[in-house]
Amino acid sequence: MNLCFIGGGNPLTGELDEVMKRIATYVEPESRVLIIPFATEHAKRDGWFQSAKKSFNDIGVENIQLLNDELGNEEMKANISVQDVLYFTGGRPEILMECMVNKGLIQTVKEFKGLMIGVSAGALAFCKDCLITKDEDYPETQILRGLGLVDFSVEVHYEESVDEELILLSKERDIYAIPNGGALFWNDEGLTSIKNIFHFSDTKKINKRRKVILESGCVWSPSS
User: What is the percent of the chain where pLDDT is above 90?
Assistant: 80
Residues for the chain: how many in total? 224
192 forms bridges with which residues in the sheet? 185
Class of domain 2-220: alpha beta
**157, pLDDT greater than 90:** yes
Query: What's the half-sphere exposure (Cβ side, CA atoms, 13 Å) at 137?
Result: 8
Contact 96, 109 (CB under 8 A): no
pLDDT of residue 208: 63
Reduced to 3 states, what is the DSSP secondary structure of residue 138? Answer: coil
**145, pLDDT greater than 90:** yes
Sign of CA dihedral 112, 152, 120, 30: negative
Is pTM, for the whole model, over 0.75?
Answer: yes
Mean pLDDT to the nearest integer, 47-53:
93
